[in-house]
């Protein structure tokens, strides 16, 4: 077990330095096709969570610049309004709206979903971007560990509650979940809220991101007949405000080598624009290509067998009907 953990960390560090940095993107970009990003998506309704900064902001701007109607879901009203104003100015697109919602609260997500559903309009693209790394054990008012609440429960609840609106947009509807290469270091575990005595926020984050990838895989299987595509992706190592705040040592050590927010959002926007027949529902994407979900000999692949029990736990926590 110890050797396997050490191998996962070493493989992640070496592979990441080679591929997840700015130089990795420059190498991969030699295969990019410029026409892939030229599609216009006027009339399509998009939700982007955590859209006031970082990759979420760059994603919202990328979609808005191509004519989409964008709903920016943000926790902080003032920051959200400032980001919205900036994107409208940059893109000239007036069809951008702020929705205030705390993604750490199931109750708040349900309230948002109820308000948004009352519009009775199709939802073409849901981007589950909101996420965080909290290094201390923090419990929400609903009794959930904070990282898990935002990264996993928030993603799960938002997706499940938006499915009826996404069915209205079928067969072109898609859910894009921003995961992380950090998931390569962790198998799935039923210890969703990190019961171990010595809390490790970075480890909890990597576990959360593994759940997102496994959830995407399961959603693709469960809802294959609904005309909705499900995709998870890794943005690479980007110099976002979240990384600077949560991983200052990492940010400093790789100063000048990290990707910009726009480079981190590139594959999210690419996934939003591609014809669905070019994509594989349930797959994990990195730099505009399908990527492996597991490193060789890392012992993570078999862990996906427990995703059904994890979904049962999430459904119970969210108080959704069985």
Active-site residues: which are they? 205
- Give residues with Cβ within 8 angstroms of 173, minimum separation 6: 122, 123, 124, 125, 166, 167, 227, 228, 229
List C-alpha distances in Å: 87 to 15, 96, 128: 34, 8, 19
Whether the upstream peptide bond of residue 203 has omega within 30° of 0, thus cis, is no
The tokens for 161 are: 């509650």
- Residue bearing tokens 């609903």: 142
List C-alpha distances in Å: 291 to 46, 91, 189, 285: 25, 31, 22, 5
Across 115-172, where does the E strand assignment appear? 125-128
The residues pairing with 98 across neighbouring beta strands, listed in sequence order, are: 72
List C-alpha distances in Å: 12 to 131, 180, 253: 20, 11, 16
């Amino acid at each position: 077990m110890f050797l396997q953990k050490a191998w996962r960390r070493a493989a992640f560090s070496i592979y990441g330095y080679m591929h997840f940095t700015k130089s990795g993107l420059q190498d991969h970009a030699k295969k990019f096709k410029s026409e892939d990003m030229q599609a216009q998506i006027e009339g399509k309704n998009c939700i982007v969570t955590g859209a006031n900064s970082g990759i979420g902001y760059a994603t919202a701007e990328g979609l808005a610049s191509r004519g989409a109607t964008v709903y920016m879901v943000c926790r902080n009203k003032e920051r959200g309004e400032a980001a919205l104003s900036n994107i409208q100015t940059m893109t000239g697109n007036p069809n951008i709206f702020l929705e205030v919602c705390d993604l750490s609260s199931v109750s708040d997500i349900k309230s948002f979903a109820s308000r948004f559903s009352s519009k009775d309009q199709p939802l073409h693209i849901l981007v589950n971007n909101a996420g965080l790394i909290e290094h201390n054990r923090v419990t929400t008012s609903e009794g959930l560990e904070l990282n898990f609440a935002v990264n996993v429960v928030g993603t799960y609840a938002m997706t499940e509650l938006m499915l009826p609106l996404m069915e209205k947009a079928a067969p072109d509807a898609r859910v894009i979940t921003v995961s992380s290469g950090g998931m390569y270091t962790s198998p799935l575990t039923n210890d969703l809220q990190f019961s171990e005595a010595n809390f490790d926020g970075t480890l909890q984050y990597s576990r959360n991101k593994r759940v997102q990838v496994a959830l995407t895989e399961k959603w693709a299987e469960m809802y294959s007949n609904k005309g909705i595509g499900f995709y998870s992706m890794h943005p690479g190592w980007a110099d976002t405000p979240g990384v600077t705040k949560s991983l200052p040592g990492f940010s400093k050590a790789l100063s000048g080598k990290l990707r910009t927010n726009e480079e981190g959002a590139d594959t999210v926007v690419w996934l939003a624009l591609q014809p669905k027949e070019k994509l594989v529902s349930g797959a994990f994407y990195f730099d505009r290509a399908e990527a492996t979900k597991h490193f060789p000999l890392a012992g993570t692949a078999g862990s996906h067998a427990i995703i059904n029990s994890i979904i049962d736990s999430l459904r119970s926590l969210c108080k959704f009907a069985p």
